[in-house]
Amino acid sequence: MYAPRARRLCINIFPGSMNIPKYTAEFIGTFAVVFCGTGAIVINQQSGGTVTHVGISITFGLIVMAMIYALGPISGAHLNPAVSLAFVIAKKFSAKQLIPYITSQLSGALSASLVLRLLFPDNALLGSTNPAGSALQSFILELLLTFFLMLVILNVAIGSKEQGLFAGLAIGSTVLLEAMFAGPVCGASMNPARSFAPAIVSGHVENLWIYILAPVVGALLAVPAWKFLTDKKSENENSTAQ
């Protein structure tokens, strides 16, 4: 008889306590993405190219897909501060949960990079993203890559049940595709948390601004594009029905 009362007291004292599983899921999911993705880069360097660029791209795509299917029902599996922010702007996610989500994502990413530092202390970059060409080139590429990724996320994650069933496959495939062709030039981060953690832990932060700003701008630009496309679709369906 006292359990419900104690639970209500806990909720009153810690109003976010009911969301702890969501924050934990974001921590675990982002940890997994950074650990496996940047881990593949580190192991490729340590092993003299055994993993290969294709292998790295596949690793990123598969781990994103796996985490979406595993953790999506719990937290939505954002795993990316730019995605969380874009969902808020699109009014598909509570602004009150934005800071806890981003904190969980950054904490998970940092933990993954710290583990990789422990495992591979001699690796200099820990999978950090750095431009192969100019900063402007990488900035534009990261902006466009994240725009396309966010457009896919908005269309498959917010829609019919059938679309939702394929969300992990569509999003993971987009990450794989973009990492495959753009990775050698800009790193194809598309995720501020993925770039933030290895840069901070390795101490190579000189290009970090590109991989924080460009993905955020790209994700935010995808929101009005998505709204325009879906509004036009609704108008066409209504006119056809009439």
Decide if pLDDT at 163 tops 90: no
What is the pLDDT, as a whole number, of residue 233? 59
Separation CA 206–CA 176 (nearest Å): 26
Q: Average per-residue pLDDT in the chain?
A: 90
Domains and CATH numbers, the chain: 10-231 (1.20.1080.10)
Q: Residue 196 — very low, low, confident or very high, per pLDDT cuts 50/70/90?
A: very high
Separation CA 196–CA 190 (nearest Å): 11
Separation CA 236–CA 61 (nearest Å): 34
Whole-structure pTM value: 0.89
Q: Residue 158 — very low, low, confident or very high, per pLDDT cuts 50/70/90?
A: confident
| Tokens (6 digits) for 223 | 């929101």
User: Is-contact 92 12, C-beta < 8 A?
Assistant: no
Burial 131-168 (b: 16+ CB within 10 A, else e): beeeeeebbebbbbbbbebbbbbbbbbeeeeeeeeebb
